[in-house]
A = this chain, B = another copy of it.
Amino acid sequence: MTSSFAKCLVAALAVLFSSQALAQYTRDPLPSWNEGPAKQAILDFVARSTKEGGPDFVPFDDRVAVFDQDGTLWVEHPMYTQVLYCLSRVPAVVKEKPELKSKEPFKTVLSGDKEAMDKLALKDWEEIVVATMSGMSVDQFQDEVKAWLKTAKHPRWDRPYTELVYQPMLEAMAYLRMGANYKTYIVTGGGQDFVRVFSPLTYGIQPEQVVGSAEGTKYGYDKSGKPFLTKEPKLLLNDNFAGKPEGIHMMIGRRPYAAFGNSTGDQQMLEYTKAGKGARLGMLVLHDDAKREYAYGPARGLPDTKVGTFTQALHDEAKKQGWIVISMKDDWRRLFPFEPLPPQD
């Protein structure tokens, strides 16, 4: 029982230490952001929503902020990381089911013909994702993803994908979480089970705070009678477009106060967030930095229904709705944690 008290003391000390950590916020909680309307919008939102007695004060328990992942928290170009993972799994899947070898879209993937792969339809990609993300136990899937993430590298930076996360967004998440007591959730069109594997160490976000496209699982027993869950080829939640607010309701159960995205797939999540009363923050990352990352959006030339992208229509809607557009080029002083912070202008 004395250990309870000791633990308390440790907790109290942790808070005191973290108050020292927070004290640096008296300098700048967002050092990788350039001064400007985007940075200011985050600071203002935190100030308004945490001002006790103020008209926009949000009670602790209600403080929820949601973040899209691909293109918002990490690099999504030239291809979604999860799609690369699924492609890497195709040979293993075909080995187990040889009948797929001569069947499309697996035949095209195995051929390695990039031009032919570019022509695959959304339906084909869905088939690849379903085939490579189901049929194994939940534990086996986690082990496979972990092993792949250790070796796979982005061709441009020659670094693991989990290092290609945006430092300014890590700072925004940490500030909302530690400086303002927001619960930070990832709300991704990507696979919930996939993102949960690396979210704790990559973003400081625990599995239960990752909402994503989710397949069902099936409960069963192994030969020794030990129960386990098998990933099923059955999509329960398609967490994109209108599926994002629907997923938020199911998994979190309340409307967020802040939402960050980068594509039409995030539009409904931003609408839903901003439709609430009081201080609400909606932000969209615009990839306009060909030098340090990529410039795409309308230029990417993919139809909205395929992946969701930053279209002109979304840009117009952002203006109309008061969503803040983050210019990667102008608003971010540095992009990745491994880059040094450049000197202030």
By a beta-carbon cutoff of 8 Å, the part of chain A in contact with chain B is 1-5, 7-9, 11-12, 15-16, 18-19, 22-23, 25-26, 50-51, 61, 138, 179, 183, 192-193, 196, 200, 206-208, 210, 214, 216-219, 226-229, 236-237, 242, 245-246, 249-254, 268, 271-272, 275
Which 9 pairs show the lowest CB-CB distances between chains A and B?
A207-B253, A8-B19, A219-B242, A1-B26, A12-B15, A208-B252, A227-B271, A196-B253, A217-B246
Establish whether residues B22 and A2, one from each chain, have CB atoms under 8 Å apart when the complex forms: no
- What is the distance, in angstroms, from A143's C-beta to the closest C-beta of chain B? 14
Please indicate the chain B residues that have their CB under 8 angstroms from the CB of A2 in the complex: 26
CA A254 to CA B217, docked complex, whole Å: 13
Contact of A219 among B16, B236, B245 (CB under 8 A): B245
CA A206 to CA B63, docked complex, whole Å: 12
Establish whether residues B138 and A249, one from each chain, have CB atoms under 8 Å apart when the complex forms: yes
Using CB atoms, name the residue of chain B closest to A19: B8
Are A219 and B207 also in contact (CB < 8 A) when A8-B22, A200-B61, A268-B227 are? no
Using CB atoms, name the residue of chain B closest to A47: B3
Please indicate the chain B residues that have their CB under 8 angstroms from the CB of A214 in the complex: 250
Establish whether residues B18 and A8, one from each chain, have CB atoms under 8 Å apart when the complex forms: yes
Establish whether residues A226 and B1, one from each chain, have CB atoms under 8 Å apart when the complex forms: no
Are A249 and B226 also in contact (CB < 8 A) when A5-B26, A8-B15 are? no
Contact of A5 among B19, B61, B218 (CB under 8 A): B19
Interface of chain A, helix or strand or loop or mixed? helix
- What is the distance, in angstroms, from A266's C-beta to the closest C-beta of chain B? 13
Contact of A15 among B11, B218, B237 (CB under 8 A): B11
Apart from A12-B15, A217-B245: 17 A-B pairs, beta carbons within 8 A = A3-B50, A4-B22, A5-B23, A8-B18, A11-B15, A12-B16, A192-B250, A192-B253, A207-B253, A208-B208, A208-B251, A216-B246, A219-B246, A227-B271, A227-B272, A236-B237, A236-B250
Please indicate the chain B residues that have their CB under 8 angstroms from the CB of A242 in the complex: 218-219
Establish whether residues A217 and B26, one from each chain, have CB atoms under 8 Å apart when the complex forms: no
- What is the distance, in angstroms, from A90's C-beta to the closest C-beta of chain B? 25
- What is the distance, in angstroms, from A289's C-beta to the closest C-beta of chain B? 30
Establish whether residues A1 and B25, one from each chain, have CB atoms under 8 Å apart when the complex forms: yes
CA A217 to CA B206, docked complex, whole Å: 25
What are 11 of the A-B contact pairs (CB < 8 Å)?
A: A4-B26, A5-B26, A8-B15, A8-B19, A12-B19, A183-B208, A196-B253, A207-B253, A217-B250, A218-B246, A236-B250
Please indicate the chain B residues that have their CB under 8 angstroms from the CB of A61 in the complex: 200, 206
- What is the distance, in angstroms, from A175's C-beta to the closest C-beta of chain B? 10
Establish whether residues A275 and B227, one from each chain, have CB atoms under 8 Å apart when the complex forms: yes
Please indicate the chain B residues that have their CB under 8 angstroms from the CB of A253 in the complex: 192-193, 196, 206-208, 210
CA A1 to CA B218, docked complex, whole Å: 50
CA A180 to CA B16, docked complex, whole Å: 20
Please indicate the chain B residues that have their CB under 8 angstroms from the CB of A228 in the complex: 275
Please indicate the chain B residues that have their CB under 8 angstroms from the CB of A206 in the complex: 61, 253
Contact of A4 among B179, B207, B251 (CB under 8 A): B179
Please indicate the chain B residues that have their CB under 8 angstroms from the CB of A200 in the complex: 61
Please indicate the chain B residues that have their CB under 8 angstroms from the CB of A16 in the complex: 12
Please indicate the chain B residues that have their CB under 8 angstroms from the CB of A138 in the complex: 249
